[in-house]
Structure 1
Amino acid sequence: MTMLRIHCLQQWYSLSDPAMEDALYEIASMRLFAGLSLDRPIPDHTTIMNSRHLLERHNLARTIFDEVVSWLSDAGVLLKEGSLMDATIIEAPNSTKNKAGTRDPEMHQTKKGNQWHFGLKAHIGVDARTGVTHSLTTTSANVHDLNQAEHLLHGEEAFVFADSGYRGAEKRDALKEVKVDWYIATIPSKVKALKKHPRINKVLLDIEYKKASIRAKVEHPFRIIKCQFGFTKARYRGLKKNDGKLAMLFALANIVRVDQMLRA
């Protein structure tokens, strides 16, 4: 349990293995959380690294994510009325920083707006009421959001909100039999055209604004892992390790989200 708590601290504070070892010596609150004291040996960075590798080898981060979701569902926090889905790009480290001096073959580039990105993409399904993440897939950045839509549903929702990247989801073979109401955002160019005549198109614009306000809750988990946990770049080569990293981050983000709800 001590090593798992140390691993959680690493995710919360975005600490490397050596930095985590130093923090355990220097910060009393971290030692207290991990159940350690200075009158006993503190795990060194090699022990911390080996513990992390054990989690990776047995895909335990995914197990932890699934257990947290199951726990929240049993506790009545995950209401399952509806789902929100979205994706975010996680940049890969620069190729010059990689040991081999080459790009990660499992990472790819994609264009968002006028800017090119190289890395991976995290796709999530979020509970519409609470903002708790219930589904996660990790792909290369060039995989279209729509291709992962079928994996972002838990199967009990009555409605789904998503941005314009998911247009046509209800027509896909894997989703034709799914009995949900789809509320997909209109493409930006059409919304821009509607705004040229706001009085005439008031009802249509109000519908789009309402969809956007409901959909906004899907951004909360991304904000937590990027802004609070500091995960702005992929830490590892390959999708499998990064998927484990993301699974752990979103599991912890769910706990943060529930804490925010309790404090509200």
Structure 2
Amino acid sequence: MEDAERWIAQSPMSDPGRHADAIAALPVGIGPLNGIIQGVLLHADWVREYGLDATQFDASARRTLPVAERLEDVLRRDPQPLQAWRPAERRSAGTCRDFALLLCGFLRCKGVPARVRCGFAAYFAGEWEDHWVCEYWDAKAGTWRLSDAQIDGMLRQRNRIAFDAADVPRRFFLSAGEAWQACRRAEAAPSAFGHGDVTGLWFVKVNVLRDHYVLNGRETSPWDRWREAPELKRLVPDQALALLDDLAARPEQPLIEIPPDWLA
């Protein structure tokens, strides 16, 4: 089983707390769970696409919350059962990581090995955009598959996404380690990877570290503060390359604590 069972246990971030019984009553299929998540969450960067004003949402929209806390916010905004579809203005606003983390928590509740992955998606901006998805174990096929619970009808139409969001083809999503290796082999341009105006090998490095942390049950980390790094610090020192190469190739290895200023 490729040691997939290690990803059934909840992490502090994915643990739904008192909501576990409500999640147990939800459907098992990945597609239906994606739909339920789309009915309770809204991506903070896309609120205008739903006809809303960003000022309607507080600072938690940009901060990844533990699943238990996120579900508290969902029910505070609308106390209906989780499977009830909420209008956009009554959903909880988060980011792609919240969508992935919520699906991960749901699946673990149902005994399905699942983990959040940090990397880059090719289905939003045309190039490789910083993105988080959920990876789950398909026991019948004996393989890991990707699901992007964020892809609802609006995003599908706007970005002309034709694939099944419950089984994202690997060619459309690269884990951070895969992106790093492609850049190091000169098979891809580092400038194609990033978030907004921040691109390049330095940003790929940030995601390599975040993916390593998340695979060790740390869905958030000091590396999430990459926006605060001054431009002159957005480099990859030569002495860091060997470690980053190793983490890219084996992101699930035991956690290596890396101070944010050590590789800056």
Q: TM-score, with normalisation over the residues of structure 1?
A: 0.27
The structure where helix makes up a greater share of residues is 1
Higher Rg of the two aligned structures: 1
Higher relative contact order (CA 8 A, sep 6+): 1
TM-score (normalizing by structure 2): 0.27
